């Protein structure tokens, strides 16, 4: 698999975006009206808890998993912690390395490719060097709410898409977990793309994000997530964009005065491994890994949704950061339609997903989320 993927990477290391046409899609800032106390944002998780299982458990296999998110981020506090607990029941030890301990997202993908790491987490844009069309799930305004995102990622179109990606690259996307709704933080109000002119804004170091911010009119500045706090504090960058739980867990609100509810991407992170790793597992082990990952998806969804509303309400009450909720989202969407979307390579898969949404999504994998968090939204 390694040679196959290295070859694929060298073929597509240039900008992968070539062909695209997008229909108008209404977008909403989505937060729940209710949230579960079990997912409280103040709960603490230590790195050791994600790596140790205690001395009273006997394991037949150990798997190593890494991501860039802080231990207290929902992806770890609720997602990988649930996955770890479920796998321990069947004798599989999961050691989780959060907070970029083993590298950034691109390095995580590379480590899974080479077999140095068993399981990784990444947004779709970082698969682009191996499979350019994978960036489609990070396209701004791809879906209009978190519930639709979760269903799309378990629907026929994306399930088939990831099967094709696995066949070609050996990278197996096992599950897609909600990451949240991306918003811009800054030191001045950002209500439309014109307000971003001259603003140095951090983006992940992937072509999709860089082109998105250029379409918005900002000065895109790629930077690792672990460097953003210091970059904001020292003035190397003026702004950044991330979901509310990520802003909170990384304390960006300490070095930014304003949260602008742009809601430009409803995003998830893909939990992935390699075909080689899956082939090394017994049928029971592979089934247990799939079940644990899916249960973690549901737990993570609950925590992300509850975290978004809980954190936002906390900030509104304490006034620690200004909340700009009168963003002209239509202008951001128009900027994407005019400057980013034409002539993209992922046009076909995008249109297939939009057709599936219009006709009614039939999910083919994973458990449906049954929660009081569904169906409630506030438009920013």
- Which pLDDT does position 58 carry in this prediction? 87
Is 18-359 assigned to CATH 1.10.10.10? no
- What one-character-per-residue DSSP string does 220-281 give? EEE--GGGHHHHHHHTS-SEEEEEHHHHHHTTGGGS-SEEEEEEEEEEEEEEEEEHHHHHHS
Would you say residue 14 has pLDDT above 80?
A: no
Among 2-16, 249-263, 302-316, the least confident range: 2-16
pTM above 0.95, yes or no: no
Q: What is the DSSP letter of 78?
A: I
Would you say residue 323 has pLDDT above 50?
A: yes
- What's the pLDDT tens digit per position in 240-269? 999 999 999 999 999 999 999 999 999 999
CA distance 98 to 103: 10
Q: Count Cβ atoms within 10 A of the Cβ of residue 84 and give its class: 0-12 exposed, 13-18 middle, 19 or more buried.
A: buried
């Amino acid at each position: 698999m390694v040679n196959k993927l290295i070859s694929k990477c060298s073929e597509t290391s240039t900008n992968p975006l070539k062909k695209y046409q997008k229909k108008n899609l209404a977008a909403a800032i989505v937060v729940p009206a209710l949230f579960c106390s079990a997912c409280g944002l103040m709960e603490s998780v230590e790195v050791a808890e994600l790596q140790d299982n205690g001395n009273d458990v006997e394991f037949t296999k150990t798997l190593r998993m890494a991501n860039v998110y802080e231990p207290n981020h929902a992806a770890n506090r609720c997602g990988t912690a649930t996955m770890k607990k479920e796998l321990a029941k069947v004798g599989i030890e999961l050691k989780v390395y959060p907070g970029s301990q083993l590298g950034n997202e691109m390095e995580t993908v590379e480590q899974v490719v080479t077999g140095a790491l068993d399981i990784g987490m990444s947004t779709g844009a970082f698969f682009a060097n191996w499979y350019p069309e994978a960036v489609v799930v990070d396209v701004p305004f791809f879906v209009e709410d978190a519930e639709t995102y979760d269903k799309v990622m378990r629907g026929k179109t994306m399930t088939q898409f990831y099967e094709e990606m696995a066949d070609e690259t050996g990278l197996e996307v096992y599950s897609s977990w909600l990451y949240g709704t991306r918003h811009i933080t800054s030191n001045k109000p950002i209500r439309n793309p014109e307000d971003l002119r001259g603003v140095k804004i951090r983006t992940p170091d992937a072509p999709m994000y860089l082109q998105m911010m250029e379409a918005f009119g900002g000065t895109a500045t790629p930077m690792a997530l672990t460097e953003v706090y210091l970059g904001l504090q020292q003035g190397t960058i003026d702004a950044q964009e991330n979901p509310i739980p990520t802003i909170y867990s990384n304390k960006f609100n300490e070095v930014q005065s304003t949260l602008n509810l742009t809601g430009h991407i409803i995003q998830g992170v893909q939990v992935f491994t390699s075909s080689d790793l899956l082939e090394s597992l017994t049928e029971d082990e592979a089934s247990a890994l799939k079940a644990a990952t899916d249960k973690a998806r549901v737990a993570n969804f609950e925590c992300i949704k509850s975290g978004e509303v809980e954190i936002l309400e906390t900030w509104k009450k304490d006034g620690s950061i200004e909340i700009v909720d009168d963003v002209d989202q239509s202008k951001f969407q128009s900027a994407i339609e005019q400057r980013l979307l034409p002539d993209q390579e992922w046009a076909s898969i995008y249109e297939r997903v939009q057709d599936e949404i219009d006709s009614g999504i039939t999910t083919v994998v994973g458990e449906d989320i049954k929660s009081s968090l569904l169906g409630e939204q506030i438009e920013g």
